[in-house]
Amino acid sequence: MAVDKEQAGRWQLRPGERRLILIAGDLLMASLATLLALVLWSLPDWLEFGVEFIRLRAGWFVLIPLIWPLLMINLYDIRRAGSWPETVRGVFIAAGMGLIIYLGVYFFRFQPGSLPRRGPVYFLIFVIILTLAWRYVYVRVFTRPAFQRRVLIVGAGESGKDIMNVLGELNPPPFYVVGLVDDDPGKQGMEVGGARVLGDSGTLLETVQKHRVSDIIVAITGAMNGEMFQALLDAQENGVEIIRMPVFYEELLGRVPIRHLESDWLLRSFVDEVRVSSLYLLLKRVMDISGAMVGLVVLALVSPFVALAILLEDGRPILYSQARLGQGGRKFYIHKFRTMRPDAEAQGTPLWTHEGDPRMTRVGKVLRRMHIDEFPQFLSVLKGDMSLVGPRPERPELVEMLEKEIPFYRARLLVKPGIGGWAQVNFGKGASVEGSAIKLEYDLYYIKHRSLLLDLWIILMSIGQAIGLRGV
């Protein structure tokens, strides 16, 4: 049955609540898949199934439900979770990741025959079917208006228009926008991004009650008059959540709205956040060294095959080096497997790299899809020029150009650059000034909110993208 958009349900869910529901559902499906796999594994005598069977043959197997949500990590993005094609793709990528990890352990185990084959196969079959069924229910039910927060936007100027444009690009929409309010008489009744301006500060409380508004987004960048301020306080007293546009933008997109920030924002927002604890920096460095050592071992294993493939296609060089800017604007050189023709920049002018770039070799496309071309950069991580996680290091020429075009661009040099980053897992490469501006919004979000938990999240998402061949 269709739900009328004007009918607000009791179960209006915040993004964090949706994420918890997704994790709980995945855990439940993985637990049920584990139980079914254990029962089927105990055949032909299903009566054998029980505590003793689990203790003797599959004690570790009961931990699998805790691993499944980690493999599904890319599908806890609320926007991806609401898309059925993205869901199907993500579930099969998670299953593929699990299979590859298990096969790696299986074939390199210390005791041959110590790990089973049938049980994990049964689990993968059941968990794919059950997770897809649960996620289909989520997409069909939890993305309906009855489960959405009802939002009123205060301000129909540039900030309000940008919020409406952002929401219009998201499918399914994370909120239902009932409309906007603005004190400008000339904007009354006009449409902004498909929603109407419903009134002004004098009618704000009435609008909130009439449309059962749960959240108000304040998209006013200039001075706010006393009447609007009082109306917002009255709405808050009535249980409505008030959120400023930059905060809403960050929570919804994981980005910082650089086009709508005041000139002193960098100082006000970063003075405290950038001064992270010494313990965090120490643990991050330990994680960098550990990850770099593992990466260099993998590099040693794959290098002969990668080198041979590059040589057979179009000869030398196998590696290329390039100057980049690191923390504090210090210049250093990165090393990567070559993925483009040797004459890719024959004119000596830096060019944007984009998906389907004709300068890319066939081997290079595969290396980029699996992020294998990045592996030599683990040397830079070990040296301390880079980190596992951080903004991607950019060429000095492009930094000089982009900082003239994009506000706050140089702020990304406040931290060490990384092999992977928040911008890479959420957006990819920015093959234009506009694309670089969006990447900067993600980079500044990471710098402002960085923590070990966020670093680990990015690493897991990066691994998922590599296995799912989503690199560019």
What is the span of the domain harbouring residue 225? 148-253
Residue 341 in tokens: 């023709």
**Contacts of residue 218, Cβ cutoff 8 Å, sequence gap at least 6:** 154, 155, 224, 232, 242, 243, 244, 245
Q: What phi, psi does 179 have (nearest 5°)?
A: 155, -165
Asked if residues 58 and 38 have their Cβ atoms less than 8 Å apart, the reply is: yes
Domain boundary among 127, 142, 157: 142
Domain boundary among 121, 142, 163: 142
Burial per residue of 98-126, b for 16 or more beta-carbon CB atoms within 10 angstroms, e otherwise = bbeebeeeeeeeeeeeeeeeebbebbbeb
Indicate the range of 25-34, 169-178, 227-236 predicted with least confidence.
169-178
Report yes or no on 111 lying in a domain.
yes
The answer on 434 and 313 residing in a single domain is yes
- CATH code where residue 157 lies: 3.40.50.720
Reported as a single tens digit per residue, the pLDDT across 320-354 is 898 999 998 899 999 999 888 877 665 666 666 76
The answer on 416 and 310 residing in a single domain is yes
Reported as a single tens digit per residue, the pLDDT across 126-167 is 999 999 999 999 988 887 777 778 899 998 888 888 888 888
Per the structure, the count of domains in the chain is 3
Residue 391 in tokens: 């903004």
Reported as a single tens digit per residue, the pLDDT across 47-85 is 455 555 555 555 667 778 888 888 888 788 877 888 888
Name the band, by pLDDT with cuts 50, 70 and 90, for residue 5: very low
pLDDT above 90 covers a percentage of the chain that reads: 23
Quick one: which H or E segment has residue 242?
strand 241-244
Domain boundary among 142, 171, 199: 142
The answer on 106 and 78 residing in a single domain is yes
**Helices 15-41, 118-137: crossing angle, 10 deg rounding:** 150
The pLDDT value given to residue 77: 80
Reported as a single tens digit per residue, the pLDDT across 355-409 is 667 788 888 888 888 888 899 999 999 999 999 999 999 989 888 888 888 888 8
The pLDDT value given to residue 469: 52
Backbone angle region of 348, left / alpha / beta, with phi > 0 → left and psi within -120 to 50 → alpha: left
265 vs 410, residue with greater confidence: 410
DSSP for 196-237, please give it.
EEEE-GGGHHHHHHHTT--EEEE---S---HHHHHHHHHHHH
The pLDDT value given to residue 430: 65
Mean pLDDT of 33-52: 68
Q: What is the pTM of this model?
A: 0.77
Report yes or no on 346 lying in a domain.
no
The pLDDT value given to residue 2: 36
Report yes or no on 304 lying in a domain.
yes
Distance CA 303, CA 311 (A): 12
The answer on 373 and 427 residing in a single domain is yes
> Does 25 have pLDDT greater than 70?
yes
Q: Which residue has the tokens 């559902």?
A: 25
Residue positions counted in the chain: 472
Average pLDDT, the chain: 82
Mean pLDDT of 179-206: 88
The answer on 83 and 191 residing in a single domain is no
The answer on 367 and 302 residing in a single domain is yes
Reported as a single tens digit per residue, the pLDDT across 203-236 is 899 999 898 888 999 988 777 888 888 999 988 8
Report yes or no on 7 lying in a domain.
no
Bond from prior residue into 44 cis (ω within 30 degrees of 0): yes
Indicate the range of 28-37, 163-172, 338-347 predicted with least confidence.
338-347
Asked if residues 327 and 413 have their Cβ atoms less than 8 Å apart, the reply is: yes
Residue from 195, 140, 139 nearest 168 by CA = 195
Asked if residues 181 and 204 have their Cβ atoms less than 8 Å apart, the reply is: yes
DSSP for 322-359, please give it.
EEEE-GGG-EEEEEEE--B-TTTTTTS------TT-TT
Percent composition of the chain: helix, strand, coil (DSSP 3-state, to 5): 60, 10, 30
Q: What is the separation of C-alpha 235 from the centre of its chain, rounded to a whole number of angstroms?
A: 33
The answer on 427 and 307 residing in a single domain is yes
Reported as a single tens digit per residue, the pLDDT across 253-280 is 888 888 776 666 666 665 554 556 778 8
The answer on 135 and 183 residing in a single domain is no
The answer on 168 and 38 residing in a single domain is no
Report yes or no on 260 lying in a domain.
no
The three-state (H, E, C) secondary structure of 21-39, written as one string: HHHHHHHHHHHHHHHHHHH
Report yes or no on 400 lying in a domain.
yes
Report yes or no on 269 lying in a domain.
no
Residue from 471, 468, 472, 463 nearest 86 by CA = 468
